[in-house]
Structure formats: structure tokens, C-alpha cells
Amino acid sequence: MKQTRKKGISRANCEVLDALDPLRDLRARFELPDGAVYLDGNSLGALPRRTAERHGALVREEWGQSLIHSWNKHDWVTLPQRIGGKLARILGASEAEVIVTDSTSVNLFKLLTGALAMPDVKGRRIILSERGNFPSDLYIAEGVIAMGGGKYTLKLVEPGEVEEALNADVAVALITQVDYCSGRLHDMAQLNNCAKNAGTRIVWDLSHSAGAVPLELGRHGAELAVGCGYKYLNGGPGAPAFLYVAKSLQANFETPLSGWFGHQAPFAFEPTYVPAAGIERLLCGTPSVIALGAMECGIDTFEGVAMDAVRKKSLALSELFRALVDQECDEFGFTCITPPDPENRGSHLSFAHKHAYAIMQAIIDRGVIGDFRHPDLMRFGFAPLYVGFVDCWDAVTILREVMLDGAWRADNYHKLNRVT
């Protein structure tokens, strides 16, 4: 290994930061490969140690031995509500306002369609979103518009133009709090206030903020939100998502997916749909019990953890990483596109480089795991429950080595994988 230049920050400095870190012991709650620096928790959270044990018991004992009786004996039937109640603390919501179910896209369809059906936005014809929003969110909005026979129009604006665009023509705004590419963070309280003044509903996508950014959905006036369970919440690949509906909206909120688990009495098997009174009306089909078991373990990794402490460490990690890239890799043409102001970013940094994909593959081969986003972005996520300060040093050290020895130029690093 080539010696990395040390102009200011040293590995010893990072070791001190780890020793002083009040969250350092949380890393023991996760299974992480030896020698790996995992900076992709913004795409897939690490495996909680309890997940394998929980799955083993769920499969062998609850399913294997108790069979169908487990719906009652092990309370499978209330898993979406129970896990939603645990998640509510992380979201700054009440237990009766959050439920874990389906995927982010499905939940987004439910909430967007339901929001458009609310009487107070009747006559408005615009769905507002950002031009660079996560594509699936925009695809869902396009699908809702197509189903409405062209009644609505999707208006896309730049991130800095959202507040100004909230006006009397906008029925619903579909806003992702932390941008998946740039990491830019919206001020939720401010946007909710602007939307309220304009008479617009906001559906928030919290996929890149839940578990990394302190949230106060109730206190900050949020009404509707969705998010995924497999990033900072550590629920496993393709984990169930969650949705939030403020208590004040639930009684009259219409869901377009009127499945039997959303019925007020699912096991009465009535021929006509009557929605449940509360958040349960947002359920649809039979809950995915095994997936929910893993999701609960992911939520439990936050047990006893204050989200303000998570945020403080998140910002410290990203500040350190940015400073190390400036210190060690300034001559290699990396441009950080994430806002420099800590108050305006989430928990990942994105660096633009014309050879971003190949460079990322080269450092992954050396144990530094980040990811790539088209066309030229390298993303590094900082999940404070298991990422340490020495991890930042080691990652940037390897990045510098790959640039110095030209390893990224190898042909195999330029061939795009199906998943990037």
C-alpha cells in the first residue's frame, strides 16, 4: 500500500474521533465483512446481527411449528402496525400515524391518488415535483395522471424553485426531502408552511432521510409521507416501505387500493369494502411476514439511540470525508456537488468525475463500497450507526491509491453492471 500524503488530518486524528464517539459501540449491532469500508448504507443498510436469529425463529418455529396459528399466537396480523409504532419515534409522529407495508412506489400511488381526491384541492390541475426527483416518483405521478385521463399535469421545477411554484394551481406537491443524487436537504417545516398558505398538499418522500435525519413530522406540519425500509433503516433488500398519514386526515382519506387488510373487519369477509377507521385503511393485501420480521430488526437497531446524536455524527463524518478528499485527492478532478452547508444536506456526499463509474468499481475491488449514479456521480453514504471516522480515512486513502496507480483504467472497470 502506497503511503498517503498527510498534510493536515491524519489517521491518528480519526482514531481519536472514533475513541470519543458516543455511538461507536452501535457498530456491534451489525454484521459487516472483514476489511470492508461500507459507505453505501444510503442504498442498502448493513445486516443487523439480530436479523438472522429472528428469521431463523420466524421460519423454523413460528411458520414451521405453529403454522397458520401464528397469525394469532405470534401476532403476525398486527406486524404492520407494531413496526410502524416503533418507526414513529424515528419519524417524529404518533404511533397511530405510521404503518409499514408494500413498497415506496405503491405507497406513493396510494397517497398521491388519495391527496388528489381531497375536496380542498378540487379544481386544481397541477402535480408539482422537482426535475431531478427520483425517477420512480415521477413515473408514479405520470401513471396517476394517465389514469385520470389527462386531468392533471406534472410540472417539474428546479429544487430552488419549489417554494415559489407553490400556488393556487397546484393540487399536490411531490417532494423528496433529501435528493438521491446531490444529497440536498429541503427545509420541511418551511415548505409545509408555504404549502399550507397556498392550499397545497405535500406528499413527502423520506427514503433518504428516515434513519439519518431527525424528523418531526407532526411538529413540522407534515400531512402525508412515504419512505423505504432498506436504506438507513436496515430492513434488508427490498424491505417493506412505510407511509404516514396525519391523524387529522385519516377518517376521510380515500385509498385507491381497497384490499382486504384495509377493511374495517377483514375476517368478516363482507362483500362490500368499508375502510378501517385509522391508519389501517392504508393496508392492502396480506402482509409479507418474513420481510416484516427483518424490517423490525432494522428498526430495533435504533433502540436507545437519539436521532440528534445520529445527525451530529452524520455531519461530522461527511465533513471529515469532504476535507480528506480535498486534502488527499485535490489534483484528480473530483467535484463535490453536495451542498457545503451541513444544514442543507442529508447523510451522503456525491462527487462528479468523468470516470466516476470505473473509479468506483476499482475502489470497490479494494474494499471501499460506495455506488455510482448516472451519468458521472460517485456517492458515499454515512450511516452513523456503523460507519466510523477511520473508515473515512481508509476510504480516501484507497481512492487516492487507485488514482495514483491508475487501476481504474482497466477495461473490466468500464463495463457497466446491470445494477450500478
Domain ranges in the chain are 11-31+306-414, 52-300
**pLDDT band at residue 159 using 50, 70 and 90 as cut-offs:** confident
- Please give the CATH number for the structural domain made up of 11-31+306-414: 3.90.1150.10
Provide the β-strand partners of residue 126: 153, 170
Query: Residues 345-373: what's their mean pLDDT?
Result: 98
pLDDT digits (tens, 9 = 90+) for 280-320: 999 999 999 999 999 999 999 999 999 999 999 999 999 99
pLDDT digits (tens, 9 = 90+) for 214-263: 999 999 999 999 999 999 999 999 999 999 999 999 999 999 999 999 99
Cα–Cα distance between 147 and 158 in angstroms, integer? 26
Query: Residues 110-138: what's their mean pLDDT?
Result: 97
CATH class for domain 52-300?
alpha beta
pLDDT digits (tens, 9 = 90+) for 35-83: 999 999 999 999 999 999 999 999 999 999 999 999 999 999 999 999 9
Cα–Cα distance between 310 and 77 in angstroms, integer? 32
Question: Residue 4's pLDDT is what?
Answer: 46
pTM beyond 0.75, yes or no: yes
**pLDDT band at residue 88 using 50, 70 and 90 as cut-offs:** very high
The set of residues, in sequence order, having a beta carbon less than 8 Å from that of 294 and lying 6+ positions away, is 51, 54, 55, 235, 236, 239
What whole-number percentage of the chain has pLDDT above 90?
97
**pLDDT band at residue 339 using 50, 70 and 90 as cut-offs:** very high
Chain-centre distance for alpha carbon 183 = 11
* pLDDT value at 2 more than 90: no
* pLDDT value at 6 more than 90: no
Q: Which three cell numbers stand for residue 241?
A: 416501505
Q: Which three cell numbers stand for residue 402?
A: 487507485
Provide the β-strand partners of residue 178: 185
Provide the annotated active-site residues: 134, 205, 230-231, 379
Q: Where are the alpha helices (DSSP H) in 223-288?
A: 247-250
* pLDDT value at 207 more than 50: yes
* pLDDT value at 379 more than 60: yes
Evaluated on CA atoms 224, 228, 234, 235, the torsion sign reads positive
pLDDT digits (tens, 9 = 90+) for 327-336: 999 999 999 9
Cα–Cα distance between 226 and 183 in angstroms, integer? 18
Q: What share of the chain is helix, strand, coil (3-state, %, to 5)?
A: 45, 15, 40
Question: Residue 7's pLDDT is what?
Answer: 66
